[in-house]
Structure 1
Amino acid sequence: MSDGPSPERPPGWSADQPPPYGAPPASPWTAPGSGPQPVSYGQPYGDQPPPPPPYGARQQPPPPPHGAQPHQTLPPPPGYGHQQHGQQYGQQYGHQPPPQHLRPGIIPLRPLGLGDILDGSIKFIRSNPKAILGISALGAALAAVPVAIATAVLNGQVTSLSRDPESVSSGGVITTLVAGYSGILISLVVSFVVTTVLTGILTRILGRSVFGGKITPGEAWNLVKGRIGALFGVVVLVGLVMLAPVVPIVGLFALLVANTSSPQDAFGLIGLGLLMILLYAVYALFFNTRFAFAAPIVVLEGRGPVEAMKRSWRLVSGDFWRVLGILLLTGILAYLVSSVLSVPFSLASSLLGVTGSDGVGVIALSAVLLAIGSTLAAMIVYPFQAAVAGLLYADRRMRSEAFDLVLQTAAIEQQRQGWVHSSADELWHPSNAARS
């Protein structure tokens, strides 16, 4: 039953009949903000929002803004999406470029890699070339001159013998050989002394270079001269350890040679000799690696020879194979550099002895060429090898004793002061080690 028109119902509406012109259903692509509004008096039924979808039904994607293409992918809003989320995550949880380590001198003050050690060794030479190359050249010349003279005399004697064998007396040959090998022996002794002293001076310069400071050879000598006795003690003790198996091996080999009578025994003796050489090489590499830090410990920590060797053994124990590999690589690089620098002078000296006369002038010129080649090679090789040993020692202390924290603290204080004080040398003392 109808009650007549009502302000809530349009004219002509009845409950038995739907409205003749119902509004179309709302478009699913209505732009945000322009969707269906709440029903108010006077709106037709069709303007009401559609009922919500059943639970679990798949909903339509949100409509694009006005003017966008139907298949256009819209950019995510700010603060949403993988890139923005990654940036916020990185800023919040530390995914940023790693901080730069302190590097006031030739190395970064953190545990060192192989590249750091080799680069630091080259920077060590370049940081103070006049002092480092100058003192190295002086030491190399003192060691090279005697052996150069002896080698030149021997080359001259061999040349004379090849040209006129009958004119050379046996007494002259013996005298020449004795003089030549005496010169080589003297050169070995001088080289032993010079290399030991040079190692101490270069190590002291290296200790200051880690902090970016410079020191003259005279100042380094004043700091090192009190440790020269301990340095010689270390070198002698390590040399005795290296030579310990040589005497019994040589004695046993001589005994076997004396009792060899058949070709089969000779072949067996050669194989045994090669095996002994191989075993001795392993022995020498092992102990040379174990005692590689003894000289830097004597200079920088002020320890005695035996204590320095024990401490070197303990430091190497934590990373033996790595230390051995770096020392072997350093030896190969030093040999290659030495060969490149010295071989041309050696060839020139040999050619001069073959093509020239056997006079004193030729012998002197040949000796000068040999001395120049040896000095030029040693003045580069000496500081490079000393720097590698010193930086390896510093690296092992950083890794086993957290010594890098001590160096970093000191470097920050020195940067604040604006200069490197001589007290930086005291930081290498064992009292600054966590475990000595």
Structure 2
Amino acid sequence: PSWSEVFFTGCADGVFAGAMTGAEDGLGALGDTLLRVMVTWPIGIFLAFAVIIQMDGVANGSTIRWHRALGQAWRRALPLLGCLGVYALAVALTFGTVLTFAGLVLRQFILDLPDALLTVVAGLAGMAVSLVALVPLVVLFIYWCLALPLVASEGLGAIRALRKSWRLVRGNWWRTLVIVSVAGFIVFAVASLAGIAGMLLVAACEGGLGVRGAVVLFNAVGGTLTTPLFLAVLLAVLNDLSQDRP
């Protein structure tokens, strides 16, 4: 896709994120963050899905305009939602199972601790539970990381895409993990720098409409630089593994 089209997707994501800033006065910091994530996350996923369709078209020698890519993404929204639903179910089941088991173990002795230690132990237990739950989730994510590119490029249904992603990654899990982790780290670093720049600007200028607009622009630029990179990596991994296992 052209840089103007990619920039459009990044700006659109940033505009929707900035539209929620008016809720900051009435909500706490955590509630405001969760609200923005709930609204912008589906929009960001949908726009990223359209970018995958554009990139796949370029890889196959055709140029797909952004409005056609959005139309194709909309027509494939049900498989997209199906994959996201499976991801959400996996997260809920994993954390639910770990939390239930940890609760049964901890309640045997944690209630007898002094109040001074109760908070510390509870915090450490929460960190341990999160780390334990992340292990199977990382394994599943790597096995299923090609599902969305498969839905976008081959028009597969959710279950078929998840199964094919698992089959392609099987035997190449560690290599896929390293590639996706490096790409994810670059995305995280660039997005973090953009976010830090925005926060410093807000702190220096004490808010204001112009400053908020600049923060939206910072976030849009960060998304413009990072989203195509990560999606291109996923498509490259899909192409590489598909040649080994057509």
- 1:398 and 2:243 matched: yes
Q: Is there any run of 5+ residues in structure 1 with no aligned partner, and where? A: 1-126, 154-175, 354-361, 402-436
Answer whether contact 1:128 1:214 (CA < 8 A) is retained.
no
**Distance in 1 between residues matched to 2:243 and 2:9, nearest whole Å:** 29
Listed as ranges, the matches of 1:327-406 within 5 Å are: 327-353=180-206, 362-401=207-246
CA distance in 2: counterparts of 1:271 and 1:345, whole angstroms: 32
Q: Partners of 1:288 and 1:313 in 2: how far apart?
A: 10
Q: Which of 2, 12, 27 is the equivalent residue of 1:177?
A: 27
Is the CA contact (8 Å cut-off) linking 1:224 and 1:299 kept in structure 2? yes
Once the two structures are superposed, the pairs formed by residues 208-247 of structure 1 within 5 Å of their partners are: 208-247=57-96
* 8 Å CA contact 1:291, 1:313 repeated in 2: yes
1:259-270 equivalences in 2 (<5 Å): 259-262=111-114, 269-270=122-123
Quote how far apart the aligned CAs of 1:399 are. 2.0
1:247 maps to a residue whose letter is: G
- How far does residue 242 in structure 1 lie from its aligned partner after superposition? 1.9
Summarize deviations over 1:141-164 as a string: whole Å, max 9, x none. 22x21454445x4xxxxxxxxxxx
CA separation of 1:177 and 1:132: change in aligned 2, threshold 3 A = closer
- Bigger Rg, which one: 1
Matched, 1:145 2:18: yes
Corresponding residue number in structure 2 for 1:38: none
Please state how far the C-alpha of 1:317 moved relative to its aligned partner.
Answer: 0.3
The alignment of Structure 1 onto Structure 2 pairs a total of residues equal to 242
Instruction: Write the deviation string for residues 281-308 of structure 1: whole angstroms up to 9, x where unpaired.
Output: 2222111111101111112222211121
- Letter of the 2:228 partner, please give it: P
Separation of aligned partners in 1, 2:45 and 2:12: 14
Q: CA deviation at 1:201?
A: 0.9
Name the CA shift for 1:252/1:149 in 2 (closer, same or farther; >3 Å).
farther
Structure 1 counterpart of 2:2, from 123, 128, 146? 128
Aligned partners of 1:334 and 1:385 also within 8 Å: yes
Tell me what 1:192 maps to.
41
Provide Cα deviations, 1:378-430, integer angstroms capped at 9, x if missing partner.
122222222211221111101222xxxxxxxxxxxxxxxxxxxxxxxxxxxxx
Describe the shift of the 1:366–1:181 C-alpha distance in structure 2 as closer, same or farther (beyond 3 A). farther
Counterpart in 2 of 1:293?
146
Of Structure 1 and Structure 2, which has the larger fraction of its residues in helix? 2
1:33-67 deviation per Cα after TM superposition (whole angstroms, max 9, x unaligned): xxxxxxxxxxxxxxxxxxxxxxxxxxxxxxxxxxx
TM-score by length of 1: 0.50
In structure 2, C-alpha distance between the alignment counterparts of 1:375 and 1:339, rounded to whole Å: 12
% identical aligned pairs: 18
Displacement of 1:350 in angstroms is 2.2
**1:371 CA displacement:** 2.1
* Shift, 1:199, TM fit: 2.4
CA RMSD between the two structures:
2.7
Give the superposition deviation at 1:365: 4.2
Does the CA-based 8 Å contact 1:150-1:181 persist in structure 2? no
Q: Does the 8 A contact of 1:146 with 1:184 survive in 2?
A: no
Q: Which runs of 5+ in 2 are unaligned?
A: none
* Alpha carbons of structure 1 residues 368 and 150: separation in structure 2 relative to 1, 3 Å: farther
**Which structure would you say has the larger RCO, counting Cα contacts within 8 Å and 6 or more residues apart?**
2
Change (3 A) 1:261 1:365: farther
Quickly say closer, same or farther: Cα 1:240–1:389, change in 2 above 3 A.
same
Residue number in structure 1 paired with 2:174: 321
Show CA shifts across 1:343-392 (max 9, x none): 22211112333xxxxxxxx4534533432222221122222222211221
Decide whether aligned partners of structure 1 residues 264 and 185 sit closer, same or farther in structure 2, where only a CA change above 3 A counts.
closer
CA contact (8 A) 1:196 1:232 kept: no
Query: Residues 260 and 295 from structure 1, CA distance in 2 versus in 1: closer, same or farther, beyond 3 angstroms?
Result: farther
- Equivalent positions of 1:52-91 (< 5 A) are none
- 2 CA distance for matches of 1:185 and 1:277? 18
Distance 1:273 1:182 in 2: 20
